[in-house]
Amino acid sequence: GAGVSQSPSNKVTEKGKDVELRCDPISGHTALYWYRQSLGQGLEFLIYFQGNSAPDKSGLPSDRFSAERTGGSVSTLTIQRTQQEDSAVYLCASSSLLAGVGDTQYFGPGTRLTVL
Amino acid sequence: AQSVTQLGSHVSVSEGALVLLRCNYSSSVPPYLFWYVQYPNQGLQLLLKYTTGATLVKGINGFEAEFKKSETSFHLTKPSAHMSDAAEYFCAVTSYNNNDMRFGAGTRLTVKP
């Protein structure tokens, strides 16, 4: 498909377990973002990847959260030792980010994480 | 740091009525401003954006927004609401060469028949 895809669409896990969320950006997009959307709240920036540069991790809420992007394409967001407050929808977005202009971000459908 | 405030977490209008969703931003540099819409069980999609140039920006589905620097606002409007406009709307701000886009808390629009 032409859009951003995320998997799984839904994930239910038990407190203390690790989870991995996957994002496939639009082909050719060099910038990739992860956000968290909690109930009744806006989007919380988590992490940003741009090309081969070091990622901007300033939004990660704790050291239990990490992300990687392999080959400049697919990204995985890992949450270790999940807590109930981690329950949210995790959104991935990509953009072409040409010349640093505020390019449009294209969002995936999200992964709904529920921690029991 | 940049930030966005959306006034009203929930707005309800009648079908055919004017839609006005408010967004105020804070930025120490010239802002780039966006409105995104999220339909139920779907991802966010861009409605419109302002970067430079004309301050009145037209987007999809009949929506438009006007950048008013003096008021630090970027309110979203539509002259006549349609039932299909029911969704959550997010305002966002970033700037040139800025990796960090800040989103507002969102406004849920309900359209009554």
Q: Give per-residue pLDDT as tens, B59-107.
A: 999 999 999 999 999 999 999 999 999 999 999 998 776 667 888 989 9
> Per-residue pLDDT tens for A11-69?
999 999 999 999 999 988 888 999 999 876 778 889 988 888 888 888 899 999 999 99
Q: Compute the distance between CA of residue B37 and CA of residue B47 in angstroms, rounded to an integer.
A: 6
pLDDT of residue A43: 84
Closest CA to B101 of A40, A65, A36, A43: A43
State yes or no: pLDDT of B42 exceeds 60. yes
Query: Is B78 in contact with B19 (CB distance < 8 Å)?
Result: yes
Q: Residue A109: which of B34, B43, B46 has the nearest Cβ?
A: B43
State yes or no: pLDDT of A1 exceeds 80. no
Collect all residues of chain A within an 8 Å Cβ-Cβ radius of residue B104.
Answer: 42
> Per-residue pLDDT tens for B4-35?
999 999 999 999 999 999 999 998 888 999 99
Q: Compute the distance between CA of residue B63 and CA of residue A37 in angstroms, rounded to an integer.
A: 24
> Residue B3 forms beta bridges with which residues?
B26
Q: Which residues contact A62 (CB under 8 A, 6 or more apart)?
A: none
Q: Residue B51: which of A41, A42, A101 has the nearest Cβ?
A: A101
- The verdict on a CB contact (< 8 Å) between B51 and A91 is no
- The verdict on a CB contact (< 8 Å) between B49 and A104 is yes
